[in-house]
Amino acid sequence: MTIPETLTQNQPDRSAAADYRGKRVVISGGSSGIGLGIAQHLAALGAQVAILGRTQDKLDAATASIIAAGGHAAGFSVDVRDAAKVAETLAACREQHGEIDALIAAAAGNFFVPAAKMSANAFKTVIDIDLVGTFNVFSAALPLLRKPGASLIAITAPQAQRAMPLQAHACAAKAGIDMLVKCLALEWGALGVRVNAVSPGPIADTEGLSKLSASPEIETFVREATALKRFGKAEDIAQAVAFLCSAQAGYVTGSILDCDGGMRLGNFHSP
Ligand code: HXC
Ligand code: NAP
């Protein structure tokens, strides 16, 4: 089939979109699951990546996987709930590797519990890791970013848009992240910083999905609740992040990019 000439004109330079050489990218929660997929993908595109997480063994395995594939990676052990330590860690990262081009906030904690049985500390724990943690890494990164042109990306979830049973803490935290992204985009745009979010649906082979899919029946129910009738891959989320951090998305800020197979549309009825 011949592609009409009108469709081949004025197309963006895709080779530039895939080129992260010389870029420095920080991923909090980059030592497993979706965050690791993002780190591996951006490193394969040429970025020098720094990964933040609590567990040193996970950081070592994650950086080793990237280095073995020919990429550049370093790991930093820190809890995103500790604002002072986050600022210290990102300053050390800046000192060792230079100004930061992009930071992706993917760290999160989750468990399923009825709201009536949720302790105040259980609620606070998830708000602190997801929402406060995202604010901590974004605000600590702000003075260390290469401006103009830097990008901040939060990893949110369909729970920000749709109420879900047993998820009051995560729904509240992710809804807070969506609004935080919009507020920071508004305030920091003039500084040359774009702030966006990616909202993954159920992603295969992740901690998040295994917590959600307590039985094969629930796993089938979750898959059927997507419009595409399949789970996504960490690579799908990494592609969305790579686009949002690229020059091709240079006029995109304050946006939530749904990369969820249509999960947020709420196809929760029986077939
Ligand atoms: C009820 C629970 C609980 C559970 C913990 N708590 N687990 N309550 N049911 N299953 C309560 C504890 O009793 C305590 O409250 C409070 O939460 C803090 O627990 P700690 O164990 O002290 O917290 P901490 O050591 O900081 O660990 C945080 C964690 C843990 C969230 C509990 O699971 C973690 O570190 N998770 C990181 C990995 C993760 O969850 N990944 C999945 C992300 S997926 P009290 O009152 O007793 O002191 C995701 C979205 C998925 O975010 C979307 C799917 C579609
Ligand atoms: P995961 O594998 O459990 O990854 C969580 C990452 O965050 C790990 O690197 C973890 O390392 C780190 N982390 C957790 N708590 C931390 C803390 N307090 N301080 C610093 N680092 C911390 O989870 P995932 O399922 O891939 O989820 C990744 C992101 O995608 C989360 O934001 C999640 O809400 C979102 N999401 C996931 C799905 C899904 O289907 N999986 C769907 C929608 C949204 P340590 O434990 O060593 O700290």
Tell me, rounded to whole angstroms, the distance of Cα 58 from its chain centroid: 18
Cα 64 to Cα 40: distance, rounded to the nearest angstrom: 11
Ligand nearest to the CA of 202: 2
134 CB near ligand 2 (under 6 Å): no
Average of pLDDT values for 122-148?
Answer: 98
The CA–CA distances, whole Å, from 47 to 80, 144, 194, 219 equal 22, 17, 18, 35
Q: How far is the CA of 191 from the centre of ligand 1 (A)?
A: 36
- Ligand 2 centroid–CA 200 distance in Å is 12
For a ligand 2 pocket test, name from 34, 78, 178 the mutation site with the most ligand atoms within 8 angstroms of its C-beta: 34
Reported as a single tens digit per residue, the pLDDT across 12-23 is 444 544 689 999
Q: Are 222 and 268 in contact (CB under 8 A)?
A: no
pLDDT digit string (tens) for 212-244? 888 999 999 999 999 999 999 999 999 999 999
The number of C-alpha atoms within 13 Å of 23 and in the hemisphere containing its C-beta is 27
Please check the confidence at residue 9 and state whether its pLDDT lies above 70. Answer: no
Query: What pLDDT does 114 receive?
Result: 98
Is the CB of residue 160 below 6 angstroms from any atom belonging to ligand 2?
Answer: no
Residues 6+ apart with CB under 8 A from 94: 100, 144
The alpha carbon of 35 and the centre of ligand 2 are apart by a number of angstroms equal to 7
Residues 56 and 79 sit within 8 Å (Cβ to Cβ): no
Predicted pLDDT at 267: 75
Give the count of beta carbons closer than 10 Å to the beta carbon of residue 108: 26
- 114 in ligand 1 pocket by Cβ < 6 Å? no
* Structural domain spans, the chain: 20-262
Ligand 2 test: best mutation among 28, 32, 36, 198, most atoms within 8 Å of CB?
32
- 153 Cβ closer than 6 Å to some ligand 2 atom: no
**Claim: this prediction has a pTM higher than 0.85:** yes
Query: Three-state SS string across the chain, please?
Result: CCCCHHHHCCCCCHHHHCCCCCCEEEEECCCCHHHHHHHHHHHHCCCEEEEEECCHHHHHHHHHHHHHCCCEEEEEECCCCCHHHHHHHHHHHHHHHCCECEEEECCCCCCCCCHHHCCHHHHHHHHHHHHHHHHHHHHHHHHHECCCCEEEEEECCHHHCCCCCCCHHHHHHHHHHHHHHHHHHHHHHHHCEEEEEEEECCECCCHHHHHHCCCHHHHHHHHHCCCCCCCECHHHHHHHHHHHCCHHHCCCCCCEEEECCCHHHCCCCCC
Q: What is the pLDDT of residue 19?
A: 84
Rounded Cα–Cα distance for residues 224 and 242 (Å)? 28
Q: What band does 269 get if pLDDT is binned at 50, 70 and 90?
A: low
d(CA 178, CA 154) in angstroms, rounded, equals: 8
Atom of ligand 2 nearest to the CA of 212: 40
**Percentage with pLDDT > 90 across the chain:** 89
Is 20-262 CATH 3.40.50.720? yes
Model pLDDT for residues 169-184, shown as the tens digit of each residue:
999 999 999 999 999 9
Which of the ligands is closest to the CA of residue 121?
A: 1
CB 202 within 8 A of CB 222: yes
Ligand nearest to the CA of 164: 1
Q: Which atom of ligand 1 lies closest to the CA of 157?
A: 53
Residue 78 CA to residue 190 CA, distance in Å, equals 30
